[in-house]
Chains A and B, each alone.
Chain A
Amino acid sequence: MSTHEITYLKMKTRQQQKSLEGYVGFASLPNQVYRKSVKRGFEFTLMVVGESGLGKSTLINSLVLTDLYCGEYPGPSHRIKKTVQVEQSKVLMKEGGVQLLLTIVDTPGFGDAVDNSNCWQPVIDHIDSKFEDYLNAESRVNRRQMPDSRVHCCLYFIAPSGHGLKPLDIEFMKRLHEKVNIIPLIAKADTLTPEECQQFKKQIMREILEHKIKIYEFPETDDEEENKIVKTIKDRLPLAVVGSNTIIEVNSKRVRGRQYPWGVAEVENGEHCDFTLLRNMLIRTHMQDLKDVTNNVHYENYRSRKLAAVTCNGIDNNKTKGQLTKSPLAQMEEERREHVSKMKKMEMEMEQVFEMKVKEKIQKLKDSEAELQRRHEQMKKNLEAQHKELEERRRQFEEERVNWETQQRILEQQKMTLEKNKKKGKIF
C-alpha cells in the first residue's frame, strides 16, 4: 500500500537562465577538473604508417624532443621485416607537472613488399583489437577505471614524389578513415621546393576529395583567434614535414635541422616546413580533441556495428535501422513481446481450426445417427404393415372358417334330421 506518488521521475527540463547576485563559486569547477586531471595523468596513442625510409622515427623523435628511437630501441626502418608487423612502444614523459603516457604504434614493413595487397590488414586488426579490448572492459559487470589504449591518431606518411597519391596511399586511407583519425603528412619535405610543395599539396587534397576520404577535421570554435589558426592549418593540408635527430648551430642559435652543402633546413622554421604547425596542432592544441573524436565517433561506430551484429544476428541493415535505438536487451524484450503476440495469434488460429474440425465430425456423426434412425423407423413401419396384413388375413381366414364350420354344422344337423325323418318315413 503506497501512499506516495512519484512525480517528475524524469527531470523536468524547465530550464531558466538565472542571474547570480554575488559570487557563488562554481566558476572554480574548471580548476577542480584541472586538478583531478593532472592527478590522474594523461595517455595518448599515436600510430605512424608509411614505407621505410620516409623519416618516421626521426619525426617522432623531433616531435617529442627525445630519442625515442635510438640504439637500444631501434626505429621501424631498422627492423627489416618480411611482413607487416604492428609494434607498440610506451614511454612516460613529464613536463610542467603533467605526466603523459605516450604509446607509439609502429608498422614496420608497411608498403615495403613487392606485393602489398592487404598490407593494411594488420593495421586494421590492431585498431579493432584495441576497440574490442575497450568494449569488453566497458561492458564488464565489475568495471575499473579503464586504460584507454585505443589508437587516437594515425600519421600517414606520403612519399614526396611531387606527383600525387599512390594507389597504396589511397587504398589505405579509404580503409582506415572510418576507424581512426588520419593525418596525412608529406614526408621528407625538404626534397620539394615551395612551389612543388604547393602543387603537390593541392593535388593530394584533390585526390582525397575525389575518393571521399575523411581525414581528421579540425573543429570550428567560437573563438575568432582560434578559428584563424585553424584556417591557416586547413589551407596548408597536408602538412609537409621534416624531422631531424641532430642539433646544428645556425646564427649562434642551436636548432634541429638537416645540414646540406647549400644550407640548413630547419625543422622548426615555419618557412622551411610545417613541422611546427604539426607539433602545435597534434600536441599543444588538439590532442584532447583527437581523443574525443576517437571516443565519440570511431569507437561508437565500432561498438554499434558490433552490437548490432550480435543482436540482429546480422540481418540486413535496412530492417534493423530503426531498431538501433535500444540496447540489445531491450531489443530482445521487444522480440519477446512480438513473439508472445504471434504465439497468441497462432494459438487462436489453431483453436479455431480445431473447433471447426470437431464440429464437422460431430455433425457427421449426428447425420449418420439420424440416417440410421430413419432407416430403422422405416423398417419398423414395414414390419408393422406386414403384421397388420397378416392380422387381416388371419381374421379373414378365421371368419371364413367359422362360417364354413357353422355351415357344416347346419349341414350336419340337416343330415341328421333327414336321417331321422327317413327312419320315420320308412315305418309307415
Chain B
Amino acid sequence: AATEIARQAGEGARAVPLSGHVGFDSMPDQLVNKSVNHGFCFNILCVGETGLGKSTLMDTLFNTKFEGEPTQHNQPGVQLKSNTYELQESNVRLKLTMVNTVGFGDQINKEDSYKSIVEFIDAQFEAYLQEELKIKRTLHSYHDTRIHACLYFIAPTGHSLKSLDLVTMKKLDSKVNIIPIIAKSDAISKSELAKFKIKITSELVSNGVQIYQFPTDDETVAEINSTMNGHLPFAVVGSTEEVKIGNKMVRARQYPWGTVQVENENHCDFVKLREMLIRVNMEDLREQTHTRHYELYRRCKLEEMGFKDTDPDSKPFSLQETYEAKRNEFMGELQKKEEEMRQMFVQRVKEKEAELKEAEKELHEKFDRLKKLHQDEKKKLEDKKKSLDDELNGFKQKKTAAELLQSQAQQAGASTTLKRDKERK
C-alpha cells in the first residue's frame, strides 16, 4: 500500500532497489523515542448532567482516584473545571487533563447550557492559534490544551435522547470528537439496552449529529475498530470499589440481586470503551482534533479576520504579501483617521472665525450708528448755539441802538430844558 508521502511525491520520485540494509527502517523507532522523551498529553472533556457518574468513570478508566467532591445540583450556570495530572505507565509519561462540566442540565432554562462548553473548547483552540501565529513561537514545548475527546454522558432513561442532549451534541460535533456513552447502564436491562442503543443511534443520524467513528483505514486495527463502531454508544458502569469474585478482587457494584462487574464484557461495555479510547485510538483522537477540528476553527477565524488564500485573480497569496497588504490597509486607516480629525478642526476653526468676524462687524456697525447719532446731536447743538449767538447779537444791536436813541433824546431833552429855562428868565 502506498504511503501518504509516496502519494504526495507522485511522479517526481523514482523507486530504487536497495542492495543491502541501509537502516532507515529505524525511523519509526526514532520518532517514537522522541515522542516518549517528550511525553504525551491528552485532554478529555466530560459532558453530562450532574450525578451521571462522570468522575467515577474517569477514576475507573484511569485506575486512580482523582480529586473532587461530588457536586450539588444548585449551580447557577454551567461551569467547566479542569485538572491536569501526570501519569506514568512503564516508560510512557502522560499529561492527562480532565475537564468536567459542572451544573450541566441543572438549570430550569437550559437554552444556554451548551454555550460555556463551546466557549471553552474555542478558547483552547484560540490559545493554540495565537501561539501558532506568534512571531517568536515555541510550538514544540507548548502545552496543548485542546480537547481531544468529549465523552457525552447520556442518562439511562431507556427511551431516547433528551432534547438538551441533541442540541448540545449538535453544537459540539464540529468542534470536538464526540463519544456518546450511556451512563449508569446497570439500570437498564439487556433487552432495553439494545432498543435504547438503536433509538439513540437513529436519533443521532436523523438529527445529523456527527459522532466520532473509530478509524478503519489502518489494516492493523481496521477490524476491531469497525466492530466497535457497531457497539456505539457504549453502555458503561463505573466503580472504584472492589468486590471479591472467586479469588480475585474486581471492581464492581454490589446489589442485593447480584454484582455488576465493571470489567466483565457481558455486564457492560466498559472494557470496550477503555480499549477504544485509550489503548487503540488515543493517538487518532489527537490527530483528528489537530487536523480536522482545529483546522476548521482556524480557517473560520482567519477568514473572519479577512485572510484569503488567493487574490481576485486566483493567484496565491504569499504570507508576506498578505501581511503587508493588511499592514498597508491598517496604516492607511490610521492616517485617514488622523486626517479626518485634522479636517474637523480646520472646519471648526473656520466656522468660529466667521462667527467672530460677524460679531466684530456688528460691533463696528453699532458704534458707527452711535457715532452718527452723536454727530447729529452735535450739529443740533451747534445750530442752537448759532441761533443763540444770533439772538445775542440782535439783542446787542437793539440795545446799542436804543441806548443811542436814549442818549440822543436825553441830549435833546436836556437842551430843550435849558432853552426853556432860558426863556423864563
Proximity string of chain A (389-414) to chain B, C-beta cutoff 8 Å, 1 when within and 0 when not:
01001100100110010001001000
* Interchain CB contact under 8 A, A311 and B4: no
> Smallest CB–CB gap between A27 and chain B, Å?
4
State the total of A-B contacts with C-beta under 8 angstroms: 384
Task: Identify the interface centre among A286, A325, A336, A350: most chain B CB within 10 Å of its CB.
Answer: A350
* Interchain CB contact under 8 A, A37 and B31: yes
* Interchain CB contact under 8 A, B363 and A325: no
Q: Is B418 an interface residue (CB 8 A)?
A: no
Query: What chain A residues lie within 8 Å of B78 (beta carbons)?
Result: 4
| Cα(A308)–Cα(B320), bound, Å | 10
* Interchain CB contact under 8 A, B92 and A27: yes
Q: Is A147 an interface residue (CB 8 A)?
A: yes
> Smallest CB–CB gap between A349 and chain B, Å?
10
Q: Is B8 an interface residue (CB 8 A)?
A: yes
| Cα(A397)–Cα(B34), bound, Å | 132
**Partner among B22, B92, B137, B348 whose Cβ is within 8 Å of the Cβ of A64:** B22
Which of A119-127, A166-174, A277-285 is the contact stretch? A277-285
Category for how many chain A residues contact B: 35 or more
Proximity string of chain B (75-114) to chain A, C-beta cutoff 8 Å, 1 when within and 0 when not:
0111111111111111110110101000100010100110
Given A141-B302, A354-B345, A7 and B81 touching (CB < 8 A)?
A: yes
Query: What chain B residues lie within 8 Å of A32 (beta carbons)?
Result: 280-284
Q: Is A97 an interface residue (CB 8 A)?
A: yes
* Interchain CB contact under 8 A, B89 and A98: no
Chain A interface helix/strand/loop/mixed:
helix
**Partner among A27, A300, A350, A397 whose Cβ is within 8 Å of the Cβ of B137:** A300
Q: Is A356 an interface residue (CB 8 A)?
A: no
| Cα(A149)–Cα(B341), bound, Å | 51
Query: What chain A residues lie within 8 Å of B133 (beta carbons)?
Result: 327-330
Query: What chain B residues lie within 8 Å of A34 (beta carbons)?
Result: 28-29, 31-32
| Cα(A316)–Cα(B407), bound, Å | 120
| Cα(A10)–Cα(B99), bound, Å | 11
Task: Report the nearest B residue to A425, measured CB to CB.
Answer: B420
> Smallest CB–CB gap between A336 and chain B, Å?
7
> Smallest CB–CB gap between B259 and chain A, Å?
18
> Smallest CB–CB gap between A402 and chain B, Å?
11
| Cα(A311)–Cα(B63), bound, Å | 50
Q: A330-B130, A346-B341 are in contact. List 20 more A-B contacts (CB 8 A).
A: A6-B123, A16-B86, A20-B62, A29-B92, A29-B94, A42-B27, A63-B22, A65-B20, A93-B24, A95-B18, A95-B24, A136-B316, A142-B299, A143-B299, A147-B5, A221-B37, A279-B22, A283-B23, A311-B327, A358-B356
Q: Which residues of A contact B (CB under 8 A)?
A: 2-30, 32-44, 63-68, 90-101, 132, 135-136, 139-143, 145, 147, 221-222, 279-280, 283-289, 292, 295-296, 300, 303-304, 306-308, 310-311, 313, 324-332, 335-336, 339, 343, 346-347, 350, 354, 358, 361-362, 365, 368-369, 372, 376, 379-380, 383, 386-387, 390, 393-394, 397, 400-401, 404, 408, 411, 415, 418
Q: Which residues of B contact A (CB under 8 A)?
A: 3-6, 8-9, 12-37, 40, 42-43, 61-64, 66, 76-92, 94-95, 97, 99, 103, 107, 109, 112-113, 115-116, 119-120, 123-124, 127, 130, 133-137, 140, 143, 145, 218, 220-221, 274-275, 278-284, 287, 291, 295, 298-299, 302-303, 305, 307-309, 316, 318-320, 322-324, 326-327, 330, 334, 337-338, 341, 345, 348-349, 352, 356, 359-360, 363, 367, 370-371, 374, 377-378, 381, 384-385, 388, 391-392, 395, 399, 402, 406, 409, 413
